A = this chain, B = another copy of it.
Amino acid sequence: MVLRPSLEKKEEKERVRGALLRAALRLASVHGFAGLGLREVSREAGIAPTSFYRHFADMEELGMALIRESAGRVVRGLGERARAAPRDQVATVLVDAALAAVALDRELLQFMVAERVGAFGGFRTLLRAESSALAHALHAAVTGTLLDPSTPPPAAAEAAVILLFDGCAKALDDVPARQKLGRDHLIWAIQQLMAAEGP
């Protein structure tokens, strides 16, 4: 019995799986994720439609993987950047890190901001959990106080994260000339919220 497939085989499978995830992101940024088909994604990834099933049961499972893996990585990265920043620089560091993520992977960020309020309940739930975790990280970075991550985050941090996501959504459309203004407004609003004593 084969217990451990060779590293090469696992790597090759991982490569094709990654191609499917990437193809889905690319096409979703055009049609929207809800408009994607399994055949369309497989074609874009360069495999036969029937091979899709070697990786995911359906498109929804693929979407869940995108959120857990790709989106999760981005959001965790933002949290780490916030926590590593000096207290009075948290808003600036966080906003710049988020805008850098937009520049680095537009398709992923478009998917994230869209599905956070999209029609698939499962996607919304996962992405709201990511938002919540980031709000806790932001709160900790600004106040130095760690709260129980299973409780809802404080209102200020929660609102700041919402503005951060929406700022990413706007940056996706903005012409470069407008981006500086959007960045400064966003930093200002987050600072206002985090400076206040809130519920």
Contacts and interface: CB of A to CB of B under 8 A. Distances in A.
A5 interface: no
State how many copies of this chain the complex holds: 2
A199 interface: yes
A103 interface: no
A179 interface: no
The secondary structure that dominates the A interface is helix
Nearest to A158: B185
A31 interface: yes
A119 B114 contact: yes
Nearest to A118: B114
Contact-size category for A: 35 or more
Interface in A140-199: 152, 155-156, 158-159, 162-163, 166, 169, 173, 181, 184-185, 188-189, 192-193, 196, 198-199
Contact of A32 (B118, B184, B193, B196): B118
A17 interface: no
B185 A196 contact: no
Given A30-B119, A192-B193, 7 more contacts: A29-B119, A32-B32, A33-B119, A34-B34, A155-B185, A156-B189, A189-B193
